[in-house]
């Protein structure tokens, strides 16, 4: 489970911003919306968090920052080539920030062990890197790395708790690669859980990592999977009793490159085409619809079904940018409640999402105050992340109205003319 994410000097996030999933002492919805960890430093973690903000306010940049950190962990040792630059983007509207490294850090929980991992980087190299492991209340600093500009070398320190061929991993780590990633590539069993958390426990859907409908289609082709998806849709109050998948071969095209001849050839090949048919049952009767006949919201929720079910079953962390896109507000609420229900989320899965759907703020028994965050830009165009709890709203305060009135920030400033000439 994600405990905390920190980022500094990335895109519009100039100063350090902190997203925390540690629950406050508030007792509201504690049984449903929080999860006991057994860890003293973070005894209760939130099952979900929502982030609001105006268009171009920076809320998507927070997701992009986490996505970028994940990509560097997964790719710096295997995809990035020697001498190749990173596509990191520091805050550009301040001269001092533009020349400084971007900084990322996550704290997460695997089992009963808390990990705190982070790094600082420029486009050319990794500047620093560290890993703290909390098997007890006292941390073990497994390794630190920092670039010494005077010598032009990376300086490493290790804890005796980190087992393995540390000298080999160190010598193999390029300036533009993470030590963590290289060590895992060279079969570090001790560091593998940290790498795997990024690879398998953190799932991000945004414009850079689109949803793949094929996962749901594959699940629908199995009887057990089809039942799970139908139950999932029913839990969201969509009256689908069954979904048929008809698969057939149709002519398609594939591009082949002939290395010997040095030419590209387009060939006609058979590809699989899937036809989905939806059986709806209500008190008034039943009917069968094609995929095109279903609403965009139903289609979006359907293609979310397999990934979300997998995330709920395995207790993963799901991050979605603009969850409300193509989803009716009632479907968004239903999806969020799946993460709050003990019967559908027994594995400790988390949902973090951005949205413009302000109705969620006052939806009955949906969100605690510590689950709500706002992002807004200051006059210098730097984005700030602020928790709703910092505003100390009254117990029965109308949060949606307060937000739209600008009480908590994170809303656009609109001219009375909206740019129209009078």
Among 44-53, 200-209, 372-381, the least confident range: 200-209
**48-53, strands of its sheet edge to edge:** 202-205, 317-320, 350-354, 48-53, 372-377, 383-387
The chain-wide mean pLDDT, for the chain, equals: 89
pLDDT band at 422 (very low <50, low <70, confident <90, very high): very low
Which 3-state string (H, E, C) describes 63-105? Answer: HHHHHHHHHHHHHCCCCCCCCCCCCCCCCCCCHHHHCCCEEEE
Whether the pLDDT of residue 107 is over 70: the answer is yes
- CA 279, 282, 287, 290 dihedral sign is negative
Tell me which DSSP letter residue 209 carries. B
pLDDT value of residue 415: 46
Residues 70 and 106 sit within 8 Å (Cβ to Cβ): no
pLDDT value of residue 261: 54
pLDDT band at 414 (very low <50, low <70, confident <90, very high): very low
Q: How many CB atoms lie within 10 A of CB 2?
A: 23
Tell me which DSSP letter residue 22 carries. B
Mean pLDDT of 380-393: 92
Residue 374 burial class via C-beta count within 10 angstroms: exposed 0-12, middle 13-18, buried 19 and up: buried
| Closest to 45 measured CA to CA, from 137, 110, 105 | 110
Bridge partners (DSSP) listed for residue 116: 107, 132
pLDDT tens track for 152-197: 999 999 999 999 999 999 999 999 999 999 999 999 999 999 999 9
Q: Which segments of 151-290 are extended strands (E)?
A: 153-158, 202-205, 240-258, 263-282, 285-290
| Closest to 132 measured CA to CA, from 158, 104, 170 | 158
Whether the pLDDT of residue 395 is over 70: the answer is yes
Residues 321 and 205 sit within 8 Å (Cβ to Cβ): yes
pLDDT value of residue 234: 79
pLDDT value of residue 362: 95
> Per-residue b/e over 223-258, b at no fewer than 16 CB within 10 Å?
eebbebbbebbeebebebeebebeeeeeeeeeeeee
Pick from 127-131, 310-314, 395-399 the range whose average pLDDT is largest: 127-131
**Phi, psi at 350, each rounded to 5°:** -125, 150
Mean pLDDT of 113-138: 96
Residues 6+ apart with CB under 8 A from 173: 77, 154, 179, 182, 183
Whether the pLDDT of residue 421 is over 80: the answer is no
pLDDT value of residue 136: 86
**Report field, pTM of the whole predicted structure over 0.95:** no
Q: What separation in angstroms does the CA of 343 have from each of 32, 196, 310, 338?
A: 10, 26, 14, 9
pLDDT value of residue 75: 95
Which of 1.10.110, 3.40.1130, 2.60.40, 3.40.50 would CATH assign to domain 1-207+321-412? 3.40.50
pLDDT band at 273 (very low <50, low <70, confident <90, very high): confident
pLDDT tens track for 336-361: 999 999 988 999 999 999 999 999 99
Bridge partners (DSSP) listed for residue 117: 106, 131
Residues 6+ apart with CB under 8 A from 254: 266, 267, 269
> Where is pLDDT greater, at 360 or 83?
360
> Where is pLDDT greater, at 397 or 69?
69
pLDDT tens track for 195-246: 999 999 999 998 777 677 888 999 999 999 999 998 888 777 677 888 988 8
pLDDT band at 34 (very low <50, low <70, confident <90, very high): very high
Residues 227 and 150 sit within 8 Å (Cβ to Cβ): no
pLDDT value of residue 274: 84
Whether the pLDDT of residue 269 is over 80: the answer is no
Percent of the chain, pLDDT > 90? 59
pLDDT value of residue 418: 46
Mean pLDDT of 46-64: 93
- How far apart (Å, rounded) are the C-alpha atoms in residues 148 and 216? 49
Residue 170 burial class via C-beta count within 10 angstroms: exposed 0-12, middle 13-18, buried 19 and up: middle
Residue 106 burial class via C-beta count within 10 angstroms: exposed 0-12, middle 13-18, buried 19 and up: buried
Q: Could you report how far apart the first and last alpha carbons of the chain are, in Å?
A: 54
Ordered by start, the domain boundaries in the chain are 1-207+321-412, 213-313
Tell me which DSSP letter residue 301 carries. H
């Amino acid at each position: 489970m994600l405990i905390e994410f920190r980022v500094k000097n990335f895109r519009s996030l100039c100063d350090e911003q902190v997203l925390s999933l540690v629950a406050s002492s508030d007792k509201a919805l504690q049984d449903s919306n929080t999860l006991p960890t057994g860890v003293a430093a973070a005894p209760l973690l939130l099952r979900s968090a929502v982030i609001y903000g105006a268009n171009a306010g920076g809320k998507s940049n927070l997701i992009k920052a986490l996505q970028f950190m994940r990509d560097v962990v997964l790719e710096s040792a295997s995809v990035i080539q020697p001498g190749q630059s990173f596509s990191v983007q520091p805050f550009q509207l301040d001269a001092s920030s533009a020349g400084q490294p971007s900084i990322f850090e996550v704290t997460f929980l695997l089992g009963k062990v808390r990990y705190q991992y982070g790094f600082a980087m420029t486009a050319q190299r990794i500047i620093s890197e560290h890993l703290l492991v909390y098997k007890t209340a006292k941390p073990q600093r497994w390794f630190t790395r920092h670039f010494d500009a005077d010598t032009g070398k990376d300086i490493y320190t290790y804890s005796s708790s980190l087992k393995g061929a540390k000298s080999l991993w160190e010598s193999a780590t390029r300036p533009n690669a993470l030590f963590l990633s290289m060590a895992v590539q060279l079969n570090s069993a001790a560091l593998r859980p940290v790498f795997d958390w990024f690879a398998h426990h953190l799932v991000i859907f945004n414009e850079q990592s689109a949803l793949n409908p094929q996962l749901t289609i594959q699940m629908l082709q199995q009887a057990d999977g089809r039942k799970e998806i139908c139950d999932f849709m029913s839990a969201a109050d969509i009256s689908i009793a069954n979904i048929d998948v008809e698969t057939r071969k149709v002519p398609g095209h594939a591009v082949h490159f002939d290395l010997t001849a040095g030419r590209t050839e387009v060939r006609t090949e058979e590809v699989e085409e899937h036809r989905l048919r939806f059986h709806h049952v209500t008190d008034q009767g039943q009917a069968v619809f094609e995929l095109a006949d279903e609403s965009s919201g139903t289609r979006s929720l359907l293609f979310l079904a397999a990934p979300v079910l997998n995330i709920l079953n395995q207790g993963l962390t799901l991050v979605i940018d603009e969850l409300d896109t193509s989803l009716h507000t009632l479907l968004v609420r239903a999806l969020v409640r799946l993460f709050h229900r003990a019967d559908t989320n027994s594995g400790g899965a988390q949902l973090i999402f951005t949205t413009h759907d302000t109705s969620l703020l006052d939806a009955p028994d949906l969100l605690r105050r510590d689950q709500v965050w706002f992002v807004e830009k200051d006059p210098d165009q730097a984005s700030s992340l602020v928790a709703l709890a910092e505003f100390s709203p009254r117990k029965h305060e109308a949060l949606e109205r307060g937000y739209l009135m600008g009480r908590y920030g994170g809303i656009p400033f609109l001219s009375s003319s909206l740019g129209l000439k009078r």
